[in-house]
């Protein structure tokens, strides 16, 4: 089968790496991909939001499956576009309909969905610009900290945790009146702050059944010890030590099953990944957010731990036979360390040459996944904030991080920075 993967980050390199290992995958294309994905298949210079361009390409290259990496094409209805087209409808799209992608694309929708299906989450209220005065009154008497969430997609920046009523009201006004997040902020969800430890739970569903992939924990802050500004992710570990069988059973019974059954009961077409951001409060799981895709950098530890043939899992999604399969995962600990551009998550330079990529692998057979890279002539240069993700396996978190660090020490580009403490709380 000819497969087209959409996206260009570390997540897509990890997916491409995994897809390319399947005997069902006879050709793999990545649009637009990065310097790393070009080693797993053929990069195609196409924008994942250019649905007409994708149509022409899929028809010409006899594509049988499209795997959607990022959320935006899904929220904008790529699965519906394929399903509605007489030529494209036979192509399997891994990723939900726009209706299903609202789990990520609209915080207000996802909160109401959770309420309808009694899925545990922070208590909340939703406000539009017309309800500004009422919202301000609500914020002024709310417990602190209080969490403000822009309803729509805001490139991962739409969540603000406010420590005082003055800050909360100012941010609230900026979102609803000042257009801080554009249209995404036309509605604001105000919710209770939950205190606990977070993990990322990944579910693959065929719309009726589901399988739970290995869970992971990501590290969002730029600085060691989880300090400094938020980033797109500085590293991840899998498995997560506190996600033991008893806790994961609660996640399954209270969150995953009602989510999948809820989607089915509401007739929402969903064939793809559900990424559930879970927080453990005391001994109980609560949903922080849903995403309609895999996580980044979590995918860079989840895919390497997954022993199943990924294309076989996807074919079972098509046939709605996921209940016949079981996830098999590597028992070892996988850890990924993300190397970023100097200055990130603020302003940074692009186009800096990267050296040391072709060194012999570390003891555990580390994998260097590319994120923001591109090929320029014979060299590979930086092309984003997050540049590389080095994944290693070991019996302990400490050894896995150490192996990745050893690989990264031999890689150089001007301004390279990475955290050396990924998984620190589990050491």
Supply the minimum distance, in Å, between the C-beta of residue 262 and ligand AMP: 19
Q: How many residues bind ligand GLY (CB under 6 A)?
A: 6
* φ, ψ for residue 228, nearest 5 deg: 80, -175
Supply the minimum distance, in Å, between the C-beta of residue 291 and ligand GLY: 6
Picked from ligand GLY, ligand AMP, none, the partner binding residue 298 (CB below 5 to 8 A depending on kind) is ligand GLY
SS (H, E, C) the chain: CEEEEEECCHHHHHHHHHHCCCCCCCEEEEEECCCCHHHCCEECCCCCCCHHHHHHHHHHCCEEEEEECCCHHHHCCHHHHHHHCCCHHHCEEECCCHHHHHHHHCHHHHHHHHHHCCCCECCEEEEEHHHHHHHHHHHHCCCCCEEEEECCCCCCCCEEEECCHHHHHHHHHHHHCCCCCHHHHCEEEEEECCCCEEEEEEEEECCCCEEECCCEEECCEEECCCEEEECCCCEEEECCCCCCHHHHHHHHHHHHHHHHHHHHHCCCCCCEEEEEEEEEECCEEEEEEEECCCCCCCHHHHHHHECCCHHHHHHHHHHCCHHHCCCCECCCEEEEEEEECCCCCCCCCCCCEEECCCCCCCCCCCEEEECCEEEECCEEEECCCEEEEEEEEECCHHHHHHHHHHHHHCCECCCCECCCCCCHHHC
Which CB, 156 or 415, lies closer to ligand AMP? 156
Binding mask 193-222 for ligand GLY (x = CB under 6 A): -------------------------x----
Picked from ligand GLY, ligand AMP, none, the partner binding residue 194 (CB below 5 to 8 A depending on kind) is ligand AMP
Which CB, 80 or 298, lies closer to ligand GLY? 298
Which CB, 192 or 406, lies closer to ligand AMP? 192
Q: How far apart are CA 204 and CA 272, in angstroms?
A: 6
Supply the minimum distance, in Å, between the C-beta of residue 220 and ligand AMP: 7
Candidate ranges 295-303, 322-330, 346-354, 415-423; the one touching ligand GLY (CB under 6 A): 295-303
Binding mask 233-272 for ligand GLY (x = CB under 6 A): x---------------------------------------
Which CB, 69 or 258, lies closer to ligand GLY? 69
Of 296, 300, 402, 403, the residue at the interface with ligand GLY (CB under 6 A) is 296
Picked from ligand GLY, ligand AMP, none, the partner binding residue 189 (CB below 5 to 8 A depending on kind) is none
Candidate ranges 2-10, 170-178, 241-249, 294-302; the one touching ligand GLY (CB under 6 A): 294-302
SS (H, E, C) 351-379: CCEEECCCCCCCCCCCEEEECCEEEECCE
Which CB, 1 or 159, lies closer to ligand AMP? 159
Candidate ranges 46-54, 289-297, 330-338, 413-421; the one touching ligand GLY (CB under 6 A): 289-297
Q: CA angle 216-199-126, nearest 5°?
A: 135
Candidate ranges 203-211, 237-245, 290-298, 360-368; the one touching ligand GLY (CB under 6 A): 290-298
Picked from ligand GLY, ligand AMP, none, the partner binding residue 147 (CB below 5 to 8 A depending on kind) is ligand AMP
Residue nearest ligand GLY, CB atom distance: 295
Which CB, 260 or 302, lies closer to ligand GLY? 302
Which CB, 80 or 296, lies closer to ligand GLY? 296
Picked from ligand AMP, ligand GLY, none, the partner binding residue 296 (CB below 5 to 8 A depending on kind) is ligand GLY
Of 95, 295, 304, 372, the residue at the interface with ligand GLY (CB under 6 A) is 295
By the 8 A CB rule, do 94 and 272 touch? Answer: yes
Candidate ranges 13-21, 38-46, 292-300, 374-382; the one touching ligand GLY (CB under 6 A): 292-300
Residue numbers at the binding site for ligand AMP (CB under 6 A): 122, 147, 156, 159, 191, 193-194, 198, 277, 288-289
Picked from ligand AMP, ligand GLY, none, the partner binding residue 295 (CB below 5 to 8 A depending on kind) is ligand GLY
Q: How far apart are CA 122 and CA 264, in angstroms?
A: 24
Listed in sequence order, the residues at least 6 apart from 293 whose beta carbon sits closer than 8 Å to its beta carbon are 11, 68, 69, 70, 71, 74, 95, 104, 272, 273, 275
Question: Footprint of ligand GLY on residues 31-90 (CB under 6 A)?
Answer: none
ω into 420 cis (within 30 of 0) = no
Per CB under 6 A, 96 contacts ligand GLY = no
Summarize as ranges the residues that interact with ligand GLY (CB under 6 A): 218, 233, 291, 295-296, 298
């Amino acid at each position: 089968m000819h497969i087209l993967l959409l996206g260009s980050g570390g997540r897509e390199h990890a997916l491409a790496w995994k897809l390319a290992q399947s005997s069902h995958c006879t050709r793999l294309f990545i649009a637009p991909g990065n310097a790393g994905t070009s080693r797993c298949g053929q990069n195609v210079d196409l924008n994942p939001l250019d649905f007409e361009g994708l149509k022409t390409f899929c028809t010409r290259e006899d594509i049988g499956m499209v795997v959607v990496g990022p959320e935006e094409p899904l929220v904008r209805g790529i699965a519906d576009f394929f399903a509605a087209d007489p030529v494209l409808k036979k192509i399997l799209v891994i990723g939900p309909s726009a209706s299903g992608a609202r789990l990520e694309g609209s915080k207000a929708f996802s909160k109401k969905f959770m309420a309808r299906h009694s899925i545990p989450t922070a208590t909340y209220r939703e406000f539009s610009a017309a309800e500004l005065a009422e919202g301000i009154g609500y914020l002024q008497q709310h417990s602190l900290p209080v969490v403000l969430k822009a309803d729509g997609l805001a490139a991962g920046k739409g969540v603000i945790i406010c420590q005082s009523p003055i800050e909360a009201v100012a941010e609230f006004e900026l979102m609803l009146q000042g257009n801080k997040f554009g249209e995404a902020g036309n509605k604001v969800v105000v919710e209770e702050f939950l205190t606990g430890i977070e993990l990322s739970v990944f579910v693959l569903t065929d719309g009726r059944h589901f399988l739970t992939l290995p869970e992971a924990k990501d590290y969002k802050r730029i600085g060691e010890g989880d300090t400094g500004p938020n980033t797109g992710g500085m590293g991840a570990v899998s498995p997560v030590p506190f996600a033991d069988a008893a806790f994961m059973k609660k996640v399954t019974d209270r969150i995953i099953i009602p989510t999948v059954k809820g989607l089915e009961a509401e007739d929402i077409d969903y064939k793809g990944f559900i990424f559930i951001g879970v927080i453990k409060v005391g001994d109980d799981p609560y949903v922080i957010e849903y995403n309609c895709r895999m996580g980044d950098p979590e995918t860079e530890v989840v895919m390497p731990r997954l022993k199943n043939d990924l294309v076989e899992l996807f074919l079972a999604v098509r046939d709605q036979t996921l209940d016949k399969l079981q996830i098999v995962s590597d028992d070892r600990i996988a850890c990924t360390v993300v190397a970023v551009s100097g200055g990130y998550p603020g302003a940074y330079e692009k186009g800096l040459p990267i050296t040391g990529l072709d060194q012999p692998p570390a003891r555990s057979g580390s994998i260097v996944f590319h994120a923001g890279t591109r090929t320029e002539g014979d060299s590979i240069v930086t092309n984003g904030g997050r540049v590389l993700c080095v994944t290693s396996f070991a019996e302990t978190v400490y050894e896995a991080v150490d192996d990745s660090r050893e690989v990264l020490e031999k890689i150089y580009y001007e301004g390279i920075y990475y955290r050396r403490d990924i998984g620190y709380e589990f050491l």
